[in-house]
Amino acid sequence: MNADALPLAGLKVVEFTHMVMGPVVGVILADLGAEVIKIEPIGGDQTRELLGSGAGYFPMFNRNKRSICLDLKSEGGVAAAKKLLADADVLIENFRPGTLDKLGLSYETLKAENPRLIYCSAKGFLAGPYEKRTALDEVTQMMGGLAYMTGPPGRPLRAGSSVIDITGGMFGVIGVLAALERRHRTGEGADIRCSLFETTAFLVGQHMAQSAVTGQAAKPMPVRISAWAIYDVFETKEPDQQLFVGVVSDSQWVSFCKAFGLDELGNNPDFAKNNQRVLARDTILPQVRALFATMTREELIAKLETTGLPFAPITRPEDLFEDAQLNAGGLVDVTLADGRTTRLPGLPVEVDGARMGLLRDIPQPGGDTDSVLAEAGFDAATIAAMRERREVA
């Protein structure tokens, strides 16, 4: 899609972020066409240097942004930031509460100069007794009940992705877009806050509701009583080639039994209704597991494709590079810090049938400093002097 045709084209966003949650807000807005200027410290965001499970944070969540390095502890660096914010539509930040306030970049201060500014803070907690605490994705998964529900009893387990950081950032985007719509009517900006803990509670809310409805505490997912008899991972004839299959309606049950020749099960009136099958799991599942263990995963997939049943091969993240569906437009070409290229998931949204693609590659630290400052009204001599004083880089 042409950059000018993107939904948020013309929107100016200034981002003071690191790690995941704040950058997620920025990358979604950037993918949708906003101009996102990422403010990094001199030398670059330390997220760029993370190892292990953090090595993918920066390349995944910082495409389509421009980078400028400022020393926000210097007078000149703060002045440059304020100049950029004077006509900005959105500010994003995810530092500890009060960090930007101490630099003179609070919402109240900036609102006085730019009443249309939407100030989005991504924090650990919303207002309340915990709001000054430091939080991380894993911290709130633990205290918000998600880790308890994910692991087996007595073994809380975080989800296998930065799911709270990412989802929390998505809620931040929702808040920003809602504030933009209100600004169309009032002309006024807004102070928006999204959070990790309350995001976790929202995701776990279905289990809270289950407890309220049934009067019984929800059990961790590995030992839950499923709402369906066949809704599980199955072994196949080949080692390490597992398959998930779900049969979630009475009509699907008929189709499933017919496709796999399970006439004895399919014709049994005691299994005709879903709740009957749930109560008979110990009778039904061993027969299905035995059958699937005689077939390869590809044979099972070929048969399941004809039934319309929900199914999924169990894959690893690295397998997705070759996934046919993602390679039909769901991956974006980017360049890593060492110059190698790869393909990473794009925004999972289509607008008028078009995907959001790559407008700007992952930025180098301060790679856009000169051009961004020049556009803000700084002349070359001033920029050079600021660089000499290490206020910018």
> How would DSSP label each residue in 334-373?
EE-TTS-EEEEE--S-EETTEE---SSPPPPTTTTHHHHH
Q: Three-state SS across 20-71?
A: CHHHHHHHHHHHCCCEEEEEECCCCCHHHHCCHHHCCHHHHHCCCEEEEEEC
Domains belonging to the chain, first-starting first, are 3-203+329-388 (3.40.50.10540), 226-318 (3.30.1540.10)
- Please give the pLDDT value at position 1: 80
- Please give the pLDDT value at position 2: 87
CA 306 to chain centroid = 33
Distance CA 388, CA 393 (A): 9
- Cα–Cα distance list, 330 to 62, 167, 192, 346, 350 (Å): 17, 19, 30, 6, 10
Distance CA 227, CA 279 (A): 10
- Please give the pLDDT value at position 248: 96
- Please give the pLDDT value at position 224: 87
* Of 134, 25, 147, 139, residue with least CA distance to 90: 25
Going residue by residue through the chain, which has 393 residues, state the pLDDT in tens, using 9 for 90 and above. 888 999 999 999 999 999 999 999 999 999 999 999 999 999 999 999 999 999 999 999 999 999 999 999 999 999 999 999 999 999 999 999 999 999 999 999 999 999 999 999 999 999 999 999 999 999 999 999 999 999 999 999 999 999 999 999 999 999 999 999 999 999 999 999 999 999 999 999 999 999 999 999 999 999 988 899 999 999 999 999 999 999 999 999 999 999 999 999 999 999 999 999 999 999 999 999 999 999 999 999 999 999 999 999 999 999 999 999 999 999 999 999 999 999 999 999 999 999 999 999 999 999 999 999 999 999 999 999 999 999 999
φ, ψ (nearest 5 deg) of residue 373: -65, -40
The Cβ of residue 58 has, within 10 Å, a number of other Cβ atoms equal to 24
- Cα–Cα distance list, 273 to 52, 210, 228 (Å): 48, 22, 10
- Please give the pLDDT value at position 225: 83
- Cα–Cα distance list, 72 to 80, 274, 303, 385, 390 (Å): 9, 61, 61, 16, 11
What per-residue string of b and e applies to 101-127 under the rule 16 or more CB within 10 Å gives b?
A: eebebebeebbeebebbbbbbbbbbee
What per-residue string of b and e applies to 299-314 under the rule 16 or more CB within 10 Å gives b?
A: ebeeebeebebebeee
